[in-house]
């Protein structure tokens, strides 16, 4: 309870601190460069040049210290030894190129990158198209969307109950094996079977992300001009043709956005692998490998190198996003 | 409403297919969570021997009971009798469907049958009453082993929740998570709002560049920042403490906050802001009196995002907080349970549900704002 009080106190102090900062900074500026007297015109111009930076200062300071500086520092760290102090040149990168686990992670990440965004977007698109047509659609949407609110670790516990494996002959308490046995198959240890276990871990993320894709794509589908659809109806197009040939091509832009957003998430995914397998049984991924080297390996140089690989993989999407926003701004 | 509805309406078969597909999707997407919820209310023995979907059906249970010790035997008509109930030592009641007297054939006899073992005649009734009769006075110190198969009515219990909340440390972790989440949700909002206003309505050189930087920072992997920040915190003496994680979460939430709020604030009608300027209001006044109140929906959207993200976060908490009792957050605790107590299903299920209940409640209560925020926050394409 005591620490909740501390939290509330910090929150209040933080909010009041912010307000006080902005208030005092503005007052000081107004006092230093008064908008009256002989230099009124010059003062107003100067004050207007300074004021944006007063507004921006706290945000820029926090972003600078907590995001920009660490990124630059990580680049440096990737050229240092385990303690992050001695320059070792390209040693970490050479080690990385030859590391078995790294190759495994890279391969698995490639799989994740292909399967998860594609499947989530696909299911999201289907769910959006179907739920938009029925009266209880918003209720259905809410239920499909709900996993978004669940933490990756919580989701892992949920799916542990689905994937659980008991030896052949005993009662299965995992849903998947129960279904398999009921259909006449024999139970499998889904999570510990190398290679295929990757897909069962991916299912968890697809389960979480489909709702996100659905919500965005559903809004895009509703934004399609009616005339194009009416024209297709008049031309005698079937509902399926209308969907795939008329509607989907008009929302390519949004599909790309959904796809890239999920792609970024996939590159950073770590909780699911950590909680379900911790990278055993051939299921390691980059983010968890990095975590492993940081915490268990205690090697800051190698961990930073792996982080940098993730960063490099994200960079193309980052550039693409920035270009899109700039295009938007110019319009 | 739209032409597509008209098509669906025209073909009843298609309409049915649509309804059925949506039902299927919804079932597939909710069943895993439902399984967890049901499991968390089940008895600990039943949870690990039968699937949660059998929760309503009576459960079959095998138990090995030991009769009372031989010195409890009383003489009755030339025989020594030991009587009792197999359910006495095990809590709960059930119906015996079979019993046996050796581990090789534990279901050899139907209730009421008489099994012979040595010179003893043993019988177990359906209600669990057993009777062991022998001509000689029984010897030894331990009772006879009875193998019983029973059908038990489903048992529902809140015991699991009581256990995790008060003795497994989840209650404590709940408070820790709250401690992390509340300031980490509120503090970035104000900082971001001022910055967003400056980026939207104030003219200064470098504005476009700053916006591009913010958009770029949106996707920076947290992994890039962890080690330098950990070293920074250690070197300036914050170490692993709440202050550090509040700052970290504030920073990680800022790019999205600034981006979301800027898009919203830039979309406010120009006339309102211009006329306020003409009336002599300063930017500070415009921001506090006009922009902030009008931006309430965007502020709510971001607050929900940040709340869900911080509440559900494992990575940042693991790195910036310690593992001790007064710092371990719920996701961290769950992860520990998954590792060390993977077999204690009832603890796992109840703990998981305690940790996901809050975000789910927030989700259903504020879904509208969440959706609005998602639509505004995803970088628009094309």
Task: Report residue B93's pLDDT band, with 50, 70 and 90 as the boundaries.
Answer: low
Share of chain A above pLDDT 90, in %: 14
Shortest distance, CA B233 to any CA of chain A (angstroms): 11
Domain coordinates in residue numbering, chain A: 2-77, 99-155+193-330
- d(C-alpha B3, C-alpha B14), whole Å: 15
Size of interface A-B (CB pairs under 8 A): 369
Of A133, A253, A322, the CB nearest to B18: A133
Output the pLDDT for position B90.
58
Nearest CA in chain A to B222: A268
B357 has a chain A CB within 8 A of its CB = no
B27 has a chain A CB within 8 A of its CB = no
Task: Report residue A54's pLDDT band, with 50, 70 and 90 as the boundaries.
Answer: confident
| pLDDT beyond 80 at A59 | yes
| Residue B131, SS3 per DSSP | strand
| pLDDT beyond 60 at B3 | no
- d(C-alpha A11, C-alpha B317), whole Å: 18
Output the pLDDT for position B381.
37
| pLDDT beyond 80 at B104 | no
- d(C-alpha B48, C-alpha B283), whole Å: 63
Output the pLDDT for position A221.
87
B-chain CB neighbours of A73 within 8 Å are 227-228
Residue B14, CA distances (Å) to A240, B4, B5, B102, B188 in order: 10, 12, 11, 61, 49
Output the pLDDT for position A192.
81
Residues 6+ apart with CB under 8 A from B251: A62, A63, A65, A66, A67
Share of chain B above pLDDT 90, in %: 5
- d(C-alpha A284, C-alpha A272), whole Å: 11
Please list the alpha-helical segments (H only) found in A223-279. Answer: 226-234, 239-241, 248-250, 252-268, 271-276
Nearest CA in chain A to B183: A11
Phi-psi region of A20 (alpha: psi -120 to 50; beta: other; left: phi over 0): alpha
Higher pLDDT, B348 or B59: B348
Residue B71, CA distances (Å) to A252, A326, B74, B123, B144 in order: 84, 91, 8, 19, 12
Q: Could you say which DSSP state residue A245 is in?
A: I
Q: Which residues, numbered 204 to 263 in chain A, qualify as contacts with chain B under a Cβ-Cβ cut-off of 8 Å?
A: 207, 210-212, 215-216, 219, 226, 229-230, 233, 239, 242, 252-254, 256-258, 261
List the one residue out of A206, A210, A176 whose CA is nearest residue A272.
A206
CB contact (8 A) between residue B359 and residue A151: yes
* The CA-based dihedral angle spanning residues B315, B318, B321, B322, taken in that order and rounded to the nearest 10 degrees: 180
Lowest model confidence (mean pLDDT) among A1-15, B18-32, B199-213, B234-248: A1-15
What is the side-by-side order of every strand in the sheet holding B59-66? B59-66, B145-152, B95-100
What would the mean pLDDT of A183-204 be, rounded to a whole number? 85
Share of chain A above pLDDT 70, in %: 99
Structure tokens at A53: 């930076």
List the one residue out of B310, B179, B180, B329 whose CA is nearest residue B257.
B310
Of B50, B202, B378, the CB nearest to A261: B378
Tens digits of residue pLDDT in B204-232 = 888 888 988 998 888 888 888 888 888 88
Burial of B256 by CB count in 10 Å (0-12 exposed, 13-18 middle, 19+ buried)?
A: buried
Output the pLDDT for position B382.
31
- Give 3-state DSSP helix, strand, coil % of chain A, rounded to 5: 80, 0, 20
Q: How many C-beta atoms surround the C-beta of residue A235 within 10 A?
A: 10
B285 has a chain A CB within 8 A of its CB = no
- d(C-alpha B245, C-alpha B316), whole Å: 7
- d(C-alpha B331, C-alpha B355), whole Å: 7
A193 has a chain B CB within 8 A of its CB = no
Of A63, A123, A215, the CB nearest to B374: A215
Q: Is the dihedral of CA B66, B69, B72, B77 positive or negative?
A: positive
- d(C-alpha A274, C-alpha A271), whole Å: 5
Residue A40, CA distances (Å) to A31, A37, A107, B124 in order: 12, 5, 65, 104
What integer best gives the mean pLDDT of chain A?
Answer: 86
Question: Is 2.60.40.3120 the CATH number for A99-155+193-330?
Answer: no
Residues 6+ apart with CB under 8 A from A187: A165, A166, A167, A168, A172, A177, A180, A181
- d(C-alpha A116, C-alpha A120), whole Å: 6
Of A60, A73, A144, the CB nearest to B29: A144
CB contact (8 A) between residue A328 and residue B312: no
| pLDDT beyond 50 at B6 | no
Question: Is 2.60.40 the CATH number for B59-152?
Answer: no
| pLDDT beyond 80 at B167 | no
Nearest CA in chain B to A271: B314
Output the pLDDT for position B2.
45
Residues 6+ apart with CB under 8 A from B337: B168, B344, B347, B348, B351
| pLDDT beyond 50 at B329 | yes
B64 has a chain A CB within 8 A of its CB = no
What would the mean pLDDT of A150-159 be, rounded to a whole number? 90
Q: Which residues, numbered 203 to 262 in chain B, qualify as contacts with chain A under a Cβ-Cβ cut-off of 8 Å?
A: 203-204, 207-208, 210-212, 214-229, 231-232, 242-243, 246-248, 250-252, 254-255, 258
Task: Report residue B165's pLDDT band, with 50, 70 and 90 as the boundaries.
Answer: confident
Tens digits of residue pLDDT in A75-110 = 888 888 887 778 887 788 888 888 888 888 989 999
What integer best gives the mean pLDDT of chain B?
Answer: 82
Output the pLDDT for position B1.
41
A28 has a chain B CB within 8 A of its CB = no
**Domain at B162-377, CATH homologous superfamily:** MetI-like (1.10.3720.10)
Tens digits of residue pLDDT in A232-287 = 888 888 888 888 888 888 888 889 888 988 888 888 888 888 888 888 888 889 98
What would the mean pLDDT of A205-216 be, rounded to a whole number? 91
H-helix or E-strand containing B96? strand B95-100
| pLDDT beyond 50 at A297 | yes
B-chain CB neighbours of A69 within 8 Å are 228
| pLDDT beyond 60 at B379 | no
Domain coordinates in residue numbering, chain B: 3-40, 59-152, 162-377
B-chain CB neighbours of A158 within 8 Å are 32-33, 35-36, 352
Output the pLDDT for position B171.
82
CB contact (8 A) between residue A68 and residue B33: no
């Amino acid at each position: 309870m005591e620490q909740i009080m501390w939290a509330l106190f910090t929150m209040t102090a933080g909010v009041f601190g912010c307000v006080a900062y902005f208030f005092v900074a503005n007052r000081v500026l107004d006092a230093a460069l008064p908008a009256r007297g002989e230099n009124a015109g010059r003062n107003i111009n100067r004050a207007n040049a300074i004021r944006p930076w007063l507004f921006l200062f706290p945000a820029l300071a926090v972003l600078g210290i907590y995001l920009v500086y660490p990124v630059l520092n990580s680049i440096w760290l990737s050229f240092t030894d385990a303690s992050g102090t001695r320059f070792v040149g390209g040693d970490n990168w050479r080690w990385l190129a030859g590391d078995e686990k790294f190759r495994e992670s890279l391969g698995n990440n490639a799989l994740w990158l292909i399967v998860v965004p594609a499947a989530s977007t696909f299911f999201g698109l289907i769910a959006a198209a179907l739920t938009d047509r029925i009266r209880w659609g918003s209720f259905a949407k809410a239920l499909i969307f709900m996993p978004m609110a669940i933490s990756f670790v919580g989701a892992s516990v949920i799916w542990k109950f689905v994937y659980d494996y008991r030896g052949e002959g005993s009662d299965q308490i995992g849903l998947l094996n129960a279904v398999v046995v009921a259909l006449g198959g024999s139970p499998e240890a889904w999570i510990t079977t190398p290679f295929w276990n990757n897909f069962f871990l991916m299912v968890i993320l697809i389960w979480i992300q489909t709702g996100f894709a659905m919500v965005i794509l559903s809004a895009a589908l509703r934004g399609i001009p009616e005339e194009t659809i009416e024209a297709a109806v008049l031309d005698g197009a079937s509902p399926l043709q209308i969907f795939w040939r008329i509607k989907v091509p008009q929302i390519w832009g949004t599909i790309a956005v959904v796809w890239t957003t999920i792609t970024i998430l996939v590159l950073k995914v770590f909780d699911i692998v950590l909680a379900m397998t911790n990278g055993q049984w051939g299921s390691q991924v980059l983010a968890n490998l990095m975590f492993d080297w940081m915490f268990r390996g205690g090697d800051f140089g190698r961990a930073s190198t792996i982080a940098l690989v993730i960063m490099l993989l994200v960079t193309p999407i980052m550039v693409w996003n920035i270009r899109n926003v700039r295009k938007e701004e110019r319009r | 409403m739209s032409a597509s509805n008209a098509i669906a309406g025209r073909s009843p078969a298609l309409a049915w297919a649509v309804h059925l597909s949506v039902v299927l999707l919804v079932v597939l997407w909710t069943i895993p969570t439902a399984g967890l919820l049901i499991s968390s209310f089940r008895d600990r023995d039943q949870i690990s021997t039968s699937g949660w979907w059998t929760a309503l059906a009576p459960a079959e249970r095998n138990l090995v009971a030991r009769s009372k010790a031989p010195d409890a035997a009383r003489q009755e008509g030339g025989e020594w009798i030991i009587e009792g109930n197999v359910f006495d030592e095990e809590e709960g009641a059930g119906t015996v469907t079979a019993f046996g007297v050796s581990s090789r054939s534990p279901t050899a006899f139907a209730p009421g049958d008489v099994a012979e073992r040595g010179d003893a005649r043993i019988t177990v009734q359906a209600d669990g009453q057993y009777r062991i009769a022998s001509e000689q006075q029984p010897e030894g110190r331990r009772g006879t082993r009875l193998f019983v198969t029973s059908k038990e009515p489903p048992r529902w219990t809140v015991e699991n929740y009581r256990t995790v909340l008060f003795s497994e440390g989840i209650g404590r972790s709940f408070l820790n998570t709250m401690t992390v989440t509340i300031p980490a949700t509120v503090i970035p909002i104000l900082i971001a709002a001022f910055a967003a206003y400056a980026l939207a309505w104030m003219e200064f050189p470098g504005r476009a560049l700053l916006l591009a930087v913010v958009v770029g920072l949106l996707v920076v992997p947290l992994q890039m920042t962890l080690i330098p920040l950990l070293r920074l915190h250690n070197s300036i003496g914050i170490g692993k403490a709440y202050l550090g994680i509040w700052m970290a979460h504030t920073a990680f939430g800022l790019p999205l906050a600034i981006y979301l709020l800027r898009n919203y604030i830039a979309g406010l009608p120009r006339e309102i802001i211009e006329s306020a300027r003409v009336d002599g209001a300063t930017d500070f006044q415009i921001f506090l009196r006009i922009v902030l109140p009008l931006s309430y929906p965007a502020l709510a959207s971001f607050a929900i995002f940040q709340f869900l993200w911080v509440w559900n976060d494992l990575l940042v908490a693991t790195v910036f907080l310690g593992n001790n009792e007064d710092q371990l957050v719920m996701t961290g605790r769950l992860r520990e349970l998954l590792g060390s107590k993977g077999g204690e299903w009832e603890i796992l299920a109840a703990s998981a549900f305690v940790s996901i209940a809050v975000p789910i409640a927030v989700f259903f209560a504020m879904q509208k704002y969440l959706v609005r925020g998602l639509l505004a926050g995803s970088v628009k394409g094309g």
